[in-house]
Copies of this chain bind each other. A is one copy, B any other.
Amino acid sequence: MASVVGITAIALLAQHVQAVNNGLARTPQMGWDNWNSFGCDVSEDLLQGTARLIVDYGLKDLGYEYVVLDDCWSNGRDASANNSLIVDTEKFPRGMAAVADDIHELGLKFGMYSSAGVYTCGRFAGSLGYEEVDANSWAEWGVDYLKYDNCYNSGEAGTQKLSHDRYNTMAKALNATGRPILYSLCNWGEDYPWNWGPTIANSWRITGDVTDFYDRPDPRCPCDGPDAWDCSLPGFHCSLLNIINKASFVVSKAEPGGWNDLDMLEVGNGGMSDAEYKTQFSVWAAVKSPLIMGNDLRIVKPQDLAILSNAAVIAVNQDPLGSSAARRWYYETDDVDQYGKGSIQMWAGSLNSTTGGEYSDMVVLLINGNNSNMTMNATLVEVFADSGGAISDQAKIAWEVRDLWANRMSNEEAQAIIDASSASGNYTSGFNATRVGGENRYNATAKSYSEGLSDADELLLGNVTTTVQPMGTITAEVERHGIAMFRLRAVPTGSLRKRTEL
């Protein structure tokens, strides 16, 4: 038996206990992590500067909250101090508490990294066997988030029980500190963490590491195709489509408080086209993955800032229903690129109603993995295939179709924001909270996404493109390797009674 969808889901939310009991991540976490751009090249300056840019660029007010320091920050353990981890003082001369304080002062939260192994992936000291002492260090320093990796785990993997128990040790240690620390479990999908992750963690990676390619195959990320979820060599260099495919199998495991993590965003790292980055951002949002930026904000390009700033897409991610979109269909095609790949797929998922009516809103994604631009279609019957029966009640009514990318910020506007930031080109010079074009931008600090959606705030709803009639078809021109993303809102009718009223 699986989770309940659609009409009854909201009622359920009010009743059930929360799986992981730290109260965090009721919607997917948002933030930034240094790894994808900087690897081990970390420092206090980098974190502080980036945190300021998150504020300056208005990203904080869009919901990006956690600034996460990844691997390579430590320098062994201190045998004289309970074997606690020693901070690398070359990189962090004032210690970690000071870093945390700075970040907190900006209204942001601070994340750190370790591994449930003898070493971290970069072969610094790991936390296996030191869970309590390390959790206490982080709590003392004011850490709000732990990304917990899987390298060098000494054979304590290969069954759900071994992995669960190993990660649960840290879950308990974090809870025991008394400080709410978001627990981001990162074992790359080994041993089916979607099964046991929800009772111990706020998110769990479901794949090997993402790479900055749309569909390039790489033997270092060997699992693909119809069995891709069953992967004992998750690897790295996983392409966008590889990860999207893997996500398709486990979407139902996402729920408030616990999310499938598709890995950090590559938006802005330069390896993909604008269409491809839009695809990543859209799918990550719709499947309720954490949205953790992975680019160098100091050199962000306007088109990338525009993607990361799309409140209408983020509102899908932060929807209070917390239900992932699911793949409705997938076809391989002959229109292949240089890697021999061609495919199209359609995803759809329930969203909280913004109409006040009985029917949930719906998010629809048309993903063009072909090598050419093309016209894509999705019928209402396909979109609402989960809603009961061959032809659901929902397919029999009309829907407003709103393009969630229509109101994307222009490059000019994005460039103006970048230019206005005191940090531009000189990110350490000072703090500047000025936002450009504020009135046209959603401010989730002032009004949460939940409130905004309740209010049917136009900034969150995208642009109406058309109305699709009962039993109709949604159509979009979609770029090569691009995506169309729509919010469907029921057109109120008096003629249909609720099913439970029949």
- Which positions in A face B, CB cutoff 8 Å? 1-4, 8, 11-12, 15-19, 35, 39-41, 70-72, 75-76, 118-119, 121-125, 149, 151-165, 168, 186, 191-192, 195-196, 198-199, 208-209, 212-213, 216, 218-220, 222, 224, 226-227, 229-230, 232-233, 235-237, 248-252, 255, 269-272, 299, 326-327, 330, 385-386, 388-390, 500, 502
Q: Which residues of B contact A162 (CB under 8 A)?
A: 155, 159-161
CA distance A71 to B2 in the complex (A): 11
Contact A119 B199 (CB under 8 A): yes
Contact A72 B12 (CB under 8 A): yes
Q: Which residues of B contact A125 (CB under 8 A)?
A: 17
Number of copies of this chain in the oligomer?
4
Contact partner of A385 among B35, B216, B270, B385, CB < 8 A?
Answer: B216
A195-B122 in contact given A2-B236, A232-B230 (Cβ < 8 Å): no
Please list 21 pairs of residues, one from A and one from B, whose beta carbons are closer than 8 Å in the complex, sorted by A's number.
A2-B208, A2-B235, A8-B39, A8-B40, A12-B122, A15-B40, A17-B76, A17-B124, A19-B118, A123-B255, A153-B196, A154-B196, A155-B168, A157-B161, A158-B161, A160-B162, A213-B385, A222-B227, A269-B388, A271-B388, A271-B389
Q: Which residues of B contact A151 (CB under 8 A)?
A: 1
Contact A249 B236 (CB under 8 A): no
Contact partner of A249 among B160, B198, B220, CB < 8 A?
Answer: B220
Contact B160 A199 (CB under 8 A): no
Contact A389 B122 (CB under 8 A): no
CA distance A391 to B67 in the complex (A): 28
Q: Which residues of B contact A35 (CB under 8 A)?
A: 1
Contact partner of A192 among B161, B191, B233, CB < 8 A?
Answer: B233
